[in-house]
Structure 1
Amino acid sequence: MAKELTHFINGEHVAGASGRFGDVMNPNTGEVTGRTPLASAAEMDKAVQAAAAAFPGWAATNPQRRARVMFNFKRLLEDNMDELAELLSAEHGKVIADSKGDVQRGLEVIEFACGIPHLQKGEFTEGAGPGIDMYSMRQPLGVVAGITPFNFPAMIPMWMFGVAIACGNSFICKPSEKDPSVPIRLAELFMEAGAPAGVLNVVNGDKEAVDAILAHPQIPAVSFVGSSDIAQYVYATGAAHGKRVQAMGGAKNHAIIMPDADMDQVVNDLIGAGYGSAGERCMAISVAVPVGEETADRLVAALKPRVEGLKVGLSTEPDSDYGPVVSKAHLEKVQGYIDLGLKEGAELVVDGRGFSLQGYENGYFMGGSLFDKVTPDMKIYNDEIFGPVLSVVRTKTFEEAAALPTKHQYGNGVAIYTRDGDAARSFASQVQVGMVGINVPIPVPLAYHTFGGWKRSAFGDTNQHGTEGVKFWTKVKTVTSRWPSGVKEGASFVIPTME
């Protein structure tokens, strides 16, 4: 029987009141396992008011005490890792090991947020002028919100609320309606860690809930991760309502393979980065760009048996390389792109469309697919497929290969494989992409650096986590202070200067 899911508002589970629900599926079986409420604007406002009531006390809590809550939360994440991973896999479909990685990468941002007493320090200048000192402070914004995607239901909420709450804000999380159980569980653990009620709220919903966040006058800042079209909508709508917005969109991440690259490493990395999590990662490598025909022939010959040998299975099976995609609609979408690639003239080296898992024929499984001789004018090259599909685009020169990610509409991540330090350095410096890997397939920065793409992969000026995250979730106040020993007579009508 499908379980009835709830919102989490003001430290309590709250039943949905809108009368609208969405089905939560187990992608392994195609069965409905839960019903999640889809919030109305009135329900969103209830969460905002709870967060607004909690904000003054939390903002006034000194940074050390806020950090202690983060330390407690980190410990609880570690203690409950297995439970969180199993819950995540059951609704998303990624294998348990990958689900643990999802939780771990979020936990690392919580570790970073434990340093908030240092991170939130301002600046001080003694003697900026005669008897004048100047100092700045970073203060929280208030009630802030995050709109998170289905593909990382643990990591991305923690990327957002970990830094935001550590800075003294209260938070509304609107997770994907496809896999909402992990964000709810994270909120429960955050309360157990010592956070006051109302500091972290989870409100389930669809576009109506998103629009309620974007229009709400008490929410000054919103972070979003999802597709580029929706990211652009969130950015434009939020900005029109006077909000600070960071909106991360889609990707088409290239891997440039130079003739001198270690081909064994390249193939291993492409298999993991291209097909892990069924390709449902915004940092997945989906385009391999070998330089030279000989390099391309070697690459495709080495990739073909590895793709054919991928172990596609249940997300709970420890020997599965990857599990199902998230939904039937998404499975059909990915398969449709393979149909399109054939019509466009690409060579389908490995076809994953006919895959079916015995005993789980209703699950959303798909074998790995490999295209060769893809060209930049093809839709399968320009669009984000977001599935277990790798395209090979052959190039003649390094310059031709390096130009591809720079010209592409997306600019999230890119990698280059080479033993030539000069080529790697030149590429990293000149490529118009936000995150670069040198002999690294998925260049997701660690928590104390910052995550963000360029072009249609990101809208807004500030990246996620790291010190950029602290800047996004705070505002700067600068104080000019004078304590004169004597009072001078008369008024000055000239703008103050330091002369």
Structure 2
Amino acid sequence: MVRELTHFIGGKHTTGTSGRFSDVYDPNTGSVQARVPLAGRDETRAAIADAAAAQPEWADWNPQRRARVLLRFLQLVEGERDALARTLSAEHGKTIADAHGDIQRGLEVVEFAAGVPHLLKGEFTDNAGTGIDVHSLRGPLGVVAGITPFNFPAMIPLWKAAPALACGNAFILKPSERDPSVPLRLAELFLEAGLPPGVLNVVNGAEEAVDTLIEDPRVQALGFVGSTPVAAHLYAAAAAHGKRAQCFGGAKNHMIVMPDADLDQAVDALLGAGYGSAGERCMAISVAVPVGEETADALVAALTERVRALRIGRSDDPDADFGPLVSRDALERVRGHVDTGVAEGAELVVDGRDFSLAGHENGFFAGASLFDRVTPSMTLYREEIFGPVLSVVRARDYEEALHLPSEHPYGNGVALFTRDGDTARDFTRRVNTGMVGVNVPIPVPVAYHTFGGWKRSGFGDLNQHGPDSIRFYTRTKTVTSRWPSGVKEGASFTIPTMG
């Protein structure tokens, strides 16, 4: 039976009125499991109107009272974490264990945002000038919006919504139409936790809904995670409409393997970071850079055996290393990239193109592929694949290895595996990317630090979660005050100074 999904506006589920729908597939079988409505302009404006009406009262709640809503939300999610993970897995295709990680990383940002009373404290200077005090206030923007991707349907919505709500904003979430059920359930749980109706609205849709969020003057800020072309477009469009924006795009994350690295540790790291979640992570390692031919030969030999042994299965198979891709389009794109790599002369060591899971021939399963002797001029290296494909680019020496991620157009994350502290320190200081791991393959910072890439991976000057998220979702008002004691000084026609 195909489920009919809804929007969540004004604290209740609302049916779609645009007449347009998108199918939600079961990636394991290729069959349609639900239909989600795609909002038009009228539905999106209704969500904005409800948010605008609800926001002032929510902003008037003191920060500690708002934080208690987040704490109750955390308790509610804990009570149904397994059900959420199973729903997420069934729509996305990642394993249930990986879905639990998706949820957990989102909850960690909710925990951080619950500390908002401390984070919203302003500054104060006593007697900045004779009898003059200066203080600053942090206040919410009003209505803000988040456009989130399919690959983390719990984590990224929570990364966006939790800090925004904690700061006193109303939040409109436009999740991916490929796996919308978990975002809808999270909205229900926020309402159950005490969030006033209308403060968090979920609008499912595509271009028309996004364009409306950008163009409507009531929406003050926009957050996005997705592909680089869309991120660049939305950032420019938001700026043109006077909105602040943080837009995060694609990635091509490298892992440098030095000759002194623990090879077994490096291979384990590459397998998990390269093939986990079928490679559908913006922080996936898609390029391995062994330094020196001896290191490269040993690494490829060890990887080959392990990659061939990877277990691909249903997303609910507890023994599967990874499950299917999210859609048939994604599957065809990955196969096309492997074809292109072969045509451009890369050495295909493990070919996953013809993988098929018995009994699930219509599912969106891609086998694991491994390339060796990839060069920076190849499409495999230049473009984000977003699938279970790992490319080995051999570097002659450390400097060449350092320059590869530094000069790549994307600058999301990078990892270095070495036993040498001097090398690690030099690398972390010089490499031109936003996030760096040393013997850590997926360097996603903890929630109280900030997450964000450089170059074509990130647009905007403030990143996700951590202190940057509070700065992004608030604006600062600075007050200069004086209480005269009855002395009249007369008019002054020069600029005020505090000397």
Matches for 1:407-422 after TM superposition, within 5 Å? 407-422=407-422
Matches within 5 A, 1:4-403: 4-403=4-403
| TM value normalised by structure 2 | 0.99
Partner SS for 1:477: strand
Structure 1-normalised TM-score? Answer: 0.99
Separation (CA, whole Å) in 1 of partners of 2:447 and 2:264: 29
Distance in 2, matches of 1:41 and 1:487, equals 59
Aligned partner letter, 1:497: T
CA distance in 2, matches of 1:42, 1:314: 39
**Secondary structure class of the residue paired with 1:117:** helix
Q: CA separation in 1, counterparts of 2:356 and 2:407?
A: 38
Q: Return the alpha-carbon distance in structure 2 between the equivalents of residues 78 and 110 of structure 1.
A: 13
Q: Cα deviation per residue 1:393-435 (whole Å; 9 max; x = unaligned)? A: 0011000011000110100000000011111111110111000
Structure 1 vs Structure 2 CA RMSD: 0.6
Structure 1 distance, partners of 2:120, 2:16, is 37
Amino acid at match of 1:492: S
- Deviations 1:417-463, CA, capped at 9 Å, x for gaps: 00111111111101110000000000001100000000000011110
Partners of 1:75 and 1:264 in 2: how far apart? 39
The amino acid of 1:137's aligned partner reads L
Give the match for residue 447 of structure 1: 447
Residue 471 of structure 1 corresponds to which residue in structure 2? 471
- Equivalents in 2 of 1:244, 1:295: separation in Å? 46
Distance 2:31 2:159 in 1: 30
The one-letter amino acid of 1:452's match is G
Q: Deviations over 1:94-141 (max 9, x none)?
A: 000000000000000000001000001100011111111110011000
Deviation at 1:270, TM superposition (A): 0.4
SS at match of 1:220: strand
> What SS is found at the alignment partner of 2:158?
helix
CA distance in 1, matches of 2:119, 2:268: 38
CA deviation vs aligned residue, 1:283-307 (integer Å, no higher than 9, x gap): 0000000000000000000001110
Shift of 1:490: 2.3
Structure 2: any 5+ residue segments left out of the alignment?
A: none
Post-superposition offset of 1:487: 3.7
Distance, in Å, in 1 between the alignment partners of 2:478 and 2:263 is: 54
Q: Distance in 2 between matches of 1:303 and 1:44?
A: 48
Alignment-mate amino acid for residue 288 of structure 1: A
- The corresponding residue for 1:488 is 488
- Give the whole-Å Cα distance in 2 for the aligned partners of 1:489 and 1:350: 84
Q: Secondary structure at the match of 2:219?
A: coil
Cα deviations by residue, 1:308-336 (Å, 9 ceiling, x for unpaired): 01110000111111000000011000000
One-letter code of the match for 1:182?
A: V
**Cα distance, 1:489 vs. partner?**
4.9
CA distance in 2, matches of 1:451, 1:68: 25
Question: CA offsets per residue over residues 261-297 of structure 1, 9 Å max, x none?
Answer: 0001000010000000000000000000000000000
Q: How far apart are the structure 1 equivalents of 2:210 and 2:92?
A: 21
Q: How far has the Cα of 1:86 moved from its partner?
A: 0.5
The number of residues matched between the two structures is: 499
Partners of 1:441 and 1:37 lie apart in 2 by 38
- The 1-side partners of 2:282 and 2:494 are apart by 55
Question: What letter matches 2:141 in structure 1?
Answer: L
For 2:80 and 2:54, the matched residues in 1 are separated by: 26
Distance 1:266 1:489, change over 3 A: closer
Q: What letter matches 1:334 in structure 2? A: V
